[in-house]
Structure 1
Amino acid sequence: MPLEIAIAGGGVGGMAAAIALQNQGHNVTIFEQARAFGRIGADVNLTPNAVHALDGLGIGDRLRATAARPEFRISRTWDSGEETSRLPMSAAAEVKYGAPQLTIHRADLLAALESALLPDTLHFGARVAGVSQTEDGVTLTFADGSTGDYDLVIGADGIHSAIRHALYGADDPQFTGLVSYRGVFVRGEAPDLPNLDSFTKWWGPTSDLQIVTFPLNRGEEVFVFATTGQKDWTEEGWTLSGDIDELRDIYKDFHPEARALLDACTEVTRSALHVRAPMPRWSEGRVVLLGDAAHPMVPFMAQGACMASEDAVVLGCALEGVEAEGLPAALERFAESRIPRTTRVQEGSLANDWLKKGGNADWVYGYDAWGALKYEVV
């Protein structure tokens, strides 16, 4: 019998979970607080583990139509430009991991996911305020005072999750002391720079200084991400305007090729980076968290959207063939499978030293979300 499922949050994890569950025949409704998806927000690095997960949802061709395929993942030293790590990606990753790395604008990723949803799945302008449950079902409460009853509620509503708050109480995210800057330039603005077809990270003299760059839009554009330290932060938002000249001055001692990346940008946005400590539980009864609602992380391993994609697939597999009365046990099985991995990635991202001087990426890139539960004892 199909389950009636509500998902709070229409981001990557929420829509991917909806696709996985609709493919099983369940009735799924997504409630997204935004009034529409715009072409804003961070650009997304989908490493092979995430592309493999999303390919299984049937959106691989749509992703590849707009994404770029980085040739290598490179680490370079801030002043000398020395390469300390170079991993083959693209075709090599496809052979090794079953999928390439794809770098894509977040709006294109969301559009690909939305295209695979059944009609009338996604409801905009619907802000979830809370959740309550009995043994027989779950009730969602919305900001306008309305309610809805479901067999299962999935909290995919981000780092400020109302579902997480309802389950586990207030738990404000911790400011890392870092502010991130994001910019994009047309490739032709810096045609002579090397490695524009690769994912490259410039490691600074201190942990608060780094520049990451990768291709977008089939290689026609280049995305630039940089961070600086800042003690206090009071503003909220992903599209706050940044001062490009101030950013260039902060990086004035970096290698000329690194500085040229910032010189090619005409404007940048900025946002603060927040984290939460790993959680020991993600589910209570018939309510479960995934993505940033469960494991927000800084972007230094480029795994935020990737972990959400994995979550969605593993959750779908955990719920295959499950009736309403079996939901609590299935949700616990899902969380127990995912928590060790996402905790390791959260901690590795915060440490910010992954692949700085080489190393094996297999434990990240080689993860098979579709087979994660296959050999577990139920």
Structure 2
Amino acid sequence: MITEHVSRSSVLIAGAGIGGLAIALSLLRRGIDCDVFEQASELREVGAGLWISMNGVRVLQDLALTQQIEQNCIAAERRDIRLWSNGGSWPLYNRSSDPAGNQPYLLLRAHLLKILVEGVRRLKPSAIHLNAHVVGFGQDDEGVRAKLADGIEVKGRALIGADGAHSKVRQGLIGNIESQYTNAIAWRGLVPVDRLAPHQREHVVSTWIGPTAHVTAYPVRWQDTELMTFSGQVDRADWLLESWSEKGAVEECLKDFVGWHSDIIELVKNVDTLNKWGLFVRPSLDTWSNGRVTLLGDACHSMLPYLGQGVNMALEDAAVLARCLDDQPNDLAAAFQTYQDLRLDRTTKVAKSAAGMLPVFHNQALTTPETAGDYIKTQWAPQATAARYDWIYQYDATTVPLH
């Protein structure tokens, strides 16, 4: 029985995604008791690659996970911008010329999830409760009551909603916030590299850009197998379902990339699993904390994937929130307010910047090679790239002043 295993002094966390597990591990490492409630019956992740940039890497280092991450990730040698039609290539960065380390860790979401689960269970074996969907809550001066879908109520001293874009905790805090379809979808898949030509197996992050779509491809490792991730974002006005994991058909995906370079066509044709994802946005929140309840990650600032920052923002949130709770352990409402004050402007700015990348990636100047060259040299000049990314990557959630 869940209620028998949860202390009333525990911080309750809704959602065992990367954000929820990162805050749980960060709290447990500080000696702060917590329990995680996950609606799924097992902790598994649909196949997808992750891009952990330096701002996220610092959080993983702070969680003492660097060694495990590096054993499972691939360090890209370089990142290139590629033209959709003829494969023309422009270097964005090179590992040998960037010792500061703006290169991301490339790994499978499932790997990071597994590493975080193991870290949490090592410190508290009973911390993660499955088949436990937080659907509502109540709070008073003494604590919180998380209401689960099966009718059980769990008492604790605070509640963190890390329950994603469809957050029930957010709904209880703020009410229903309608999402808006952005007229774009994402295709996501994984391709075993032994199905690809040798030149397609390189440890390179490739961002292919075109008039109405773009593709990011990079290698990841699963046990002893190397896979190439395929993530294609396409302008589409005909999507109705907000889902992360709708199954997609190769034939339909190929129709979205007619006329694209053969390297992209081969990626799609050889994909193992293919998922289709409608890209929705919600307006930025003005507040996401109230008393003993707060939100984290996609629950309070879901963002489009065009800067690869969704998971990195959740990791940053976790680091800052844990530090705030450690700093103000006897006044949870004040700790949550400090956390919100530190995170709201940054996450809003990152979300806005991510949305602003769509017309940069999808641009009519890319229609012909003649107009594309000047466009790419302007948009991805070193100064433009530094202005776009450096302020994101240089942030350190583990040391940012709390006061």
Q: Give the TM-score taking structure 1 as reference length.
A: 0.91
Q: Which amino acid aligns with 1:123?
A: H
- Aligned partner of 2:217 in structure 1 is 213
Distance 2:393 2:286 in 1: 24
Stretch deviating more after TM superposition (129-138 or 165-174): 129-138
How many equivalent pairs are there? 368
* One-letter amino acid of the structure 1 residue matched with residue 391 of structure 2: W
Preserved contact between residue 26 and residue 63 of structure 2 (Cα < 8 Å): yes
1:175 counterpart (178, 181, 190): 181
Distance in 1 between residues matched to 2:133 and 2:255, nearest whole Å: 41
Other-structure match for 1:283: 289
TM-score normalized by structure 2? 0.86
Which runs of 5 or more structure 1 residues have no equivalent in the other structure?
A: none
Q: Counterpart of 1:333?
A: 338
After TM superposition, the structure 1 stretch with the greater mean CA deviation from structure 2, 64-73 or 233-242, is: 233-242
CA RMSD of superposed structures (Å):
2.1
Q: Which has a greater percent of helix?
A: 2
Which deviates more from structure 2 when the two are superposed, residues 55-64 or residues 249-258? 249-258
- Separation in 1, partners of 2:208, 2:355: 17
**Counterpart residue type for residue 400 of structure 2:** A
- Higher mean alpha-carbon deviation, 55-64 vs 113-122, is at 55-64
- C-alpha separation in 1, matches of 2:166 and 2:47: 16
Task: Report the equivalent of 2:349.
Answer: 344
**Residue 205 (structure 1) shift:** 0.9
Q: CA deviation at 1:329?
A: 1.5
Residue in 2 aligned with 1:115?
118
Q: Is the 8 A contact 1:297 1:304 kept in 2?
A: yes
Return the offset for 1:41. Answer: 4.3
2:195 to 189, 192, 195: 189
Give a deviation string over 1:123-163, Cα, whole Å, max 9, x none: 11100011121122111111111112211110000000011
Q: 1:244, 1:330 → 2: CA distance?
A: 48
SS of residue in 2 equivalent to 1:222: strand
Tell whether the 8 Å contact from 2:185 to 2:276 is kept in structure 1 after alignment: yes
Partner of 1:246: 252
SS class of match (2:145)? strand
- Aligned runs of 1:1-378 on 2, under 5 Å? 3-89=9-95, 95-97=99-101, 101-117=104-120, 118-194=124-200, 196-206=202-212, 209-217=213-221, 220-324=226-330, 326-352=331-357, 353=360, 357-358=380-381, 359-360=385-386, 361-373=389-401, 376=402, 378=403
CA deviation string 1:69-110 (max 9, x = no partner): 122222222224333451234x766x415x852111111110
What do the CA deviations read for 1:301-351 (whole angstroms, capped 9, x no partner)? Answer: 111111101110011111114233x21122111111111211111111111
Q: 1:171 is aligned with what amino acid?
A: I
Identical aligned residues as a percent: 30
Distance 2:187 2:198 in 1: 23
- Partners of 1:41 and 1:238 within 8 A in 2: no
Query: Any gaps of 5 or more consecutive residues in structure 2?
Result: 1-7, 362-375
